Chain A
Amino acid sequence: MSASDDKLQEGATDSAINAVSRNHEKNEQADNAGGIVILFFIIGLAASMIVGWIVFPKLLYSQKDQPISFSHAIHNLEVEDGCESCHFFREDGTFSGVPKLEQCIDCHEEVQGESADEAYFVEEYVNKGREVPWLIYSRQPDCVFFSHAAHVKKGEMECNTCHGPIEDSDNLKPYQENRLTGVSRDIWGYNIGGFKKNIWDRMKMDDCAECHKKSLGVKDACFVCHK
């Protein structure tokens, strides 16, 4: 072996050592990169969860307050016939729904109590003869036919089976409206995951169908509830 050969061999060994150490460095880098990928994945997942579960519903639903505050609890103590005192059936079997000013005036022609809200109501609406522009939580889309007579009279159901314990509420919650469809959020439900605990949490077609199937034992024809 000549001196030059020795040199060559030495060089080769050196480069081999270099290569090994470089490989080692690369592996370390790869480990770090993996950690970063997982970190960013978690950040991204968390961000999209926040957007999907909190930001998007806020964007999707506009929020409005009712024109005046109203306590079902107080009124329920004063009236004689419970819900039907104000939410009554007309003689042709249709349901009156949210009362008109005409019904309110029966008692509120003048201020009855101490409350400032009531004084405002009498002054702004009763005295001026203006209808209160109530926002209706349970208004279904246009394609839906709902018969209160069939459920309350024929089916002998209680109001709060579908509307919840509204008679005990002291104030009206803010009305949320779907900006795309214009339908109240009470129809789709407040749980963005679509879970429901109570019957009155949601008023979607599936919820109607679920109860119809349970109580009637048949899948109803579409025309029963659609128009």
Chain B
Amino acid sequence: MKNNHNNGKAKKFGMVIDLDKCTGCGSCMVACMSENNVPFKADETDKRLSITWMLVYKLNNGKSHPDYDECYLPRPCMQCEGDHGHSPCVSVCPAVATDYSHETGIVSQIYTRCFGCRYCMAACPYHARYFNWWDPAWPADMEKYLSPNVSPRMRGIVEKCGFCFHRYQLAMDKAYYEGRDELEEGEYQTSCTQACPAGAIVFGDLNNPKHAVHKIALPDSKHGGRPKNPNAFRLLERLGTNPKVYYLSSRKWVRDSGDNYRPDEK
């Protein structure tokens, strides 16, 4: 290979989720499961065992009618950058099965390398990682519907959202074929972004000022990407995990529920 494929500018793929637009319909969860060959159980009622790379939480302001208000919060993997790639899960993995890519800013999970110690699950402050207690079992013929671009996981290993990294790979294939090194904003989008009927999820390169995610969140590169948009916040900002998923809300109680503030604080 003559050319160095790392010569392009480093990307930092990220997401902005507008919680004022989210209706909690769960389309992102469904799209994610089918896109990424996420297995399901015969009985999905036990939520401790179900695997949901993208999970919609329901929050409320704790007040009673007429002051009651609620909000849905979709939670993918936050792809924490931490301090220069020192994400909580990456730093505890003894097998280098999960790694921070400085090229794309995505935290990878290599299923064939993971041996299931689950340190990363303990380390992840967002509960974004899931353990396969059983081998996946799809009902008859459903295996034929699986995406060939995503490797199904076996029992005994951990899996998580990877911002549909296979879509990045395919988009890069097309770019290389056309003699380009850079992607257009629309060429690489996660399945949850495209599935959201409310358009609440926006995806793109946080390092690229032309991309919508950058324009909305206004990440402050001097402070680990902390949003300069007053309506934007990140989950558990004070942990210093520097997630690449930003949330937007015009409601203060929603923004405040993004971190563990004491009642007397602020």
**A residues touching B (Cβ–Cβ < 8 Å)?**
89, 91-94, 142-143, 145, 147-151, 153-157, 211-212, 215-218, 221-223, 226-227
Contacts and interface: CB of A to CB of B under 8 A. Distances in A.
Contact of B149 (A89, A221, A222, A227): A227
Nearest to B171: A93
B6 A151 contact: no
Given A223-B165, A226-B111, 16 more contacts: A93-B174, A94-B170, A143-B110, A143-B112, A145-B166, A147-B176, A150-B176, A153-B176, A153-B177, A155-B1, A155-B2, A222-B96, A222-B113, A226-B113, A227-B151, A227-B166
A89 B177 CA distance: 8
5 contacts: A216-B4, A222-B110, A223-B101, A223-B108, A226-B113
Contacts of A92: 170, 173-174, 177
B108 A222 contact: yes
Contacts of A222: 96-97, 99, 108, 110, 113
A89 B2 CA distance: 20
Interface of B: 1-6, 96-97, 99, 101, 103-104, 106, 108, 110-113, 149-152, 162, 165-166, 169-170, 172-179, 181
A145 B169 CA distance: 8
B3 A155 contact: yes
A94 B178 CA distance: 11
A93 B178 contact: yes
Q: Which 10 A-B pairs have the closest CB atoms?
A: A155-B1, A93-B174, A93-B173, A93-B177, A223-B108, A149-B176, A215-B1, A154-B176, A149-B173, A222-B110
